[in-house]
Amino acid sequence: MLSIGPAKAAALFERMDDEEIRDLSTAMSSLGSLSSNIVERLFVEFADQLSSAGGLVGSYSSTERLLTGALGEERVNAIMEEMRGPAGRTMWDKLGNVNESVLANYLKNEYPQTVAVVLSKIKADHASRVLGVLPENFSMEVIMRMLRMEAVQKEILDQVERTLRTEFMTNLARSAKRDSHEMMADIFNNLDRNTETRFMTALEERNRESAERIKQLMFTFDDLVRLDASGIQLLLRQVEKDQLALALKGSAEDVKDLFFSNMSERAGKMMREDMEAMGAVRLKDVDEAQAVIVTTAKSLADSGQIVITSTDEDSELIY
């Protein structure tokens, strides 16, 4: 399909259903580089007149271009989105990479017997998390069916897998866009203090619920008090001293105390002297310095090097 071009491919794609196109597209996108010798051998097997073509590179982009020439844009987008969904070779592998809350939200509308089949096919630790999120009465129905469940017929498994692929995975890929409140929280984080206050006040007047959610999602310099000592010490090694001094000039006292308590006495004394030597500083400069340090902290958290604890009780750490 990659070698014969959009026009000839279109004639073949038109005779396939979405599932066949999806399976073929997945195979095409995972081909990688193929030598011309392999391509020519395949051509000889299928059609002697095509044996003169050269090498191929199968990728998402080449597959998408070929599909676009044969199918409507909406249909191509749906197929490619599902292919770019959760990683995994099989449907059950893919489900293992879906957040338990997202999976539970879908499964709670299915028959308990269907849910029992699904949970029996994914890893035990992931199944346990999904059960914990499902409504309790529904979970017990699922558990009872799992206890009584015998070997599942291949036809039933295939039907469940097809349903998950066509209904759940496709919708998941389409809805995997970033939450709008998270996006706005990041934008607000990068506003200067006066602009942020102005926008937040206006938003509170128009939609208090959204304003509160954005506040909860925002991570500011003062939120660095949620880092433990090892996290602060790692952050200290990652940021410029001049930038930190400027950022601390406009921070709350508890944040200053946290940073200074994780410095040596000599380093803390030098930092305080640097801050005093700065004199009056512009609020805009302080905001920019704090934003850089917050971004660094987020990057360290994303890579798992530090932990930013939540403010809710469920996330409290026990030592």
Instruction: Determine the CATH number of domain 219-315.
Output: 1.10.220.30
Q: Which fold has domain 91-174?
A: Annexin V; domain 1 (1.10.220)
Taking the whole predicted model, whether its pTM rises above 0.85 is answered as no
What are the extents of the domains in the chain?
A: 5-83, 91-174, 219-315
- The closest alpha carbon to 227, from 296, 297, 289, 290, belongs to 297
* H runs (alpha helix) in the chain: 5-13, 18-29, 36-46, 60-70, 73-83, 91-96, 100-107, 112-121, 124-133, 136-148, 154-163, 170-174, 180-189, 193-206, 208-217, 229-238, 241-249, 253-261, 265-278, 283-302
Using the Cα atoms of residue 71, residue 72, residue 78 and residue 84 in order, give the sign of their dihedral. positive
The alpha carbon torsion through 45, 46, 48, 54 (nearest 10 deg) reads: -90
Q: What are the pLDDT digits (tens) for 239-279?
A: 999 999 999 988 889 889 999 999 999 999 999 999 999 88
Dihedral sign from CA coordinates of 154, 157, 159, 162: negative
| Percentage of the residues of the chain whose pLDDT score is greater than 90 | 17
Read off the pLDDT of residues 278-315 as tens digits, 9 standing for 90 and up: 888 888 888 888 888 988 888 887 777 887 775 544 44
Residue 226: how many CB atoms within 10 A of its CB?
A: 16
Length reported for the chain: 319
**Best-predicted range by mean pLDDT (11-15, 227-231, 269-273, 305-309):** 269-273
**Tell me, what's the pLDDT at 79?**
67
Q: Which residue has the higher pLDDT, 112 or 41?
A: 112
**Can 91-174 and 219-315 be said to share one CATH topology?**
yes
Please tell me the least confidently modeled range out of 126-130, 168-172, 225-229, 255-259: 168-172
Contacts of 300 (CB under 8 A, 6+ apart): 231, 234, 235, 238, 306
